[in-house]
Amino acid sequence: MPSLFVDGAWISGSGGTADVINPFDASVLETVDQAGPDDVDRAVLAARAAFDTGPWRRVPAAERGALLRRVADLLVRDKKEIARTETLDTGKTLVESRIDVDDVTAVFRYYADLAGKDAGRVVDTGQAHVLSRVVPEPIGVCVLITPWNYPLLQLSWKVAPAIAAGNTMVIKPSEVTPLTSVLLVRLLEEAGVPAGVVNIVLGDGRSVGAPLTEHPAVDMVSFTGGLATGQAIIRASAATVKRVAVELGGKNPNIVFADTDFETAVDYALTAVFLHSGQVCSGGARLIVQDEMHDDLVAEIGRRAELIRLGNGLDEGSEVGPLVSAAHRAKIEDYVASAQAEGARLVVGGRRPEEPELQKGFFYRPTVFADVHREMRVVREETFGPILTVERFADEEEAIALGNDTEYGLAGAVWTSDMGRAERVARALRHGTVWINDYHPYIPGAEWGGFKRSGNGRELGPTGLAEYQEHKHIWHNT
């Protein structure tokens, strides 16, 4: 079946084909069509026409909500197939993929409920004959560009609010993991989305992503991915003054005070960083531990990290899957080499696994470095892999300073049994999400996004809807 969906039809496109690789064993999972320049143009113009002249603009918000609810029901129906595809494509475990599908379903339901709830507001003009209203309207044609680590999840955070707000869109998933994005578009089609409202084009950033961000008929680009790509997209969008919302990387502090329960701190520090082999934008890659607990925690985390079972994401016994690609593993190995060259102490890992059944795939052992300092690349840069660095602190002030000592500002956590301190640290950290005595949970109703160089937008929650809206002021002199 063709892989591109343009103006309500599945087409093969003129950009040739590309193999999608299974990171577990480097086999070819599927060969998918790639968009050529003419396909990119057609997709944008289809979205433009659907927005400007199609019936979509007259579809009431409640009906858009009903469409999203149908998609949620279809996700429940197809959960098994979608989760399996996500695991094959990304390498993450089935447990994680199932959670992703559940979370995606919840996001569709959340925006189904929110669609049309905000009718705008009336502003007091102080003049009896003048009515002033501010009404939300869709922004127009949105380009949605997503990364490879949470392909379906990141896309849902964009598609659901963009539809709730009444926009039309062109989706460009990561060329590394495009399969579940195509499945989601099939469900949108089945749920009855009109032709041209949702389009998907496959291909890499240079030949498909960049032309979309430069296209004059596009009103907005919503992007999730790396910092350098985000900067390029902001520059590319400047000429046509598009709205640009970027969700970028993170270098997230996980701060543990010595009054925290030791076992809990160990358990959560491990899942904070090694979930999905560290390929999580909000992963707790910097463990920052109070002096009194530091040595014991490092030793126990090293012991437990060595026990983590790597394996095929499809096997229920696997705790962590492979890295997404050979190129990404090479990047991780480069970070490990640079950390060792800069004098970090390797506690555990720093190597590929020895098991014969893991040799074909892109596996790398969970790795922990202690005795690191702030100038090291492995501490400053987002490695996006299974590397934990451990720093130490003496008091609250130093913990906050270390936690904020990064150009990023996506997420962080604080662990303490002193609730006053927990609240003070949470407020002082300049990160978009702060967990107190927890790590990783999020909910569709609460905003997600970055301070500083982790981004300029917010997804989820009511702000995640407002990102896809214009706010028009109507001054009515009656």
d(CA 320, CA 317): 9
Residue 51 or 223: the one with the smaller Cβ distance to ligand NAD is 223
Instruction: Return the range that interacts with ligand NAD (CB under 6 A); candidates 160-168, 185-193, 203-211, 420-428.
Output: 203-211
Site string for ligand NAD, 233-252 (x = CB under 6 A): x-------------xxxx--
Enter the tokens of residue 105: 């379903």
Asked if 100 touches ligand NAD (CB under 6 A), the answer is no
Interacting residues of 322 by C-beta distance below 8 A, sequence separation 6+: 23, 24, 91, 277, 310, 358, 361, 362, 363, 364
Q: Which residue in this structure is represented by tokens 């998918």?
A: 32
- For residue 237, the minimal CB distance to ligand NAD (Å) is 10
Radius of gyration of the chain (CA): 23
d(CA 406, CA 374): 9
Interacting residues of 297 by C-beta distance below 8 A, sequence separation 6+: 256, 262, 265, 266, 269, 287, 289, 390
Instruction: Return the range that interacts with ligand NAD (CB under 6 A); candidates 25-33, 95-103, 111-119, 450-458.
Output: 450-458
- For residue 384, the minimal CB distance to ligand NAD (Å) is 5
d(CA 363, CA 353): 7
Asked if 108 touches ligand NAD (CB under 6 A), the answer is no
Kindly tell me which residue out of 23, 147, 284, 461 binds ligand NAD, with binding defined by CB under 6 A: 147
Asked if 461 touches ligand NAD (CB under 6 A), the answer is no
Enter the tokens of residue 184: 């989601």
Asked if 151 touches ligand NAD (CB under 6 A), the answer is no
Asked if 284 touches ligand NAD (CB under 6 A), the answer is no
d(CA 476, CA 133): 8
Catalytic residue among 86, 96, 247, 459: 247
Q: Which residue in this structure is represented by tokens 């400053």?
A: 380
Closest CA to 147 of 47, 28, 334, 281: 281
- For residue 281, the minimal CB distance to ligand NAD (Å) is 3
Asked if 205 touches ligand NAD (CB under 6 A), the answer is yes
Asked if 467 touches ligand NAD (CB under 6 A), the answer is no
Residue 175 or 391: the one with the smaller Cβ distance to ligand NAD is 175
Pick out residues in 344-373 that bind ligand NAD (CB under 6 A).
none
Asked if 382 touches ligand NAD (CB under 6 A), the answer is yes
Q: Is 96 a catalytic residue?
A: no
Interacting residues of 361 by C-beta distance below 8 A, sequence separation 6+: 22, 23, 24, 25, 26, 91, 322
Site string for ligand NAD, 164-183 (x = CB under 6 A): --------x-xx--------
Just list the catalytic residues: 247
Contact set with ligand NAD (CB under 6 A): 145-150, 154, 172, 174-175, 204-205, 209-210, 213, 224-226, 229, 232-233, 247-250, 281, 382, 384, 410, 450, 454-455
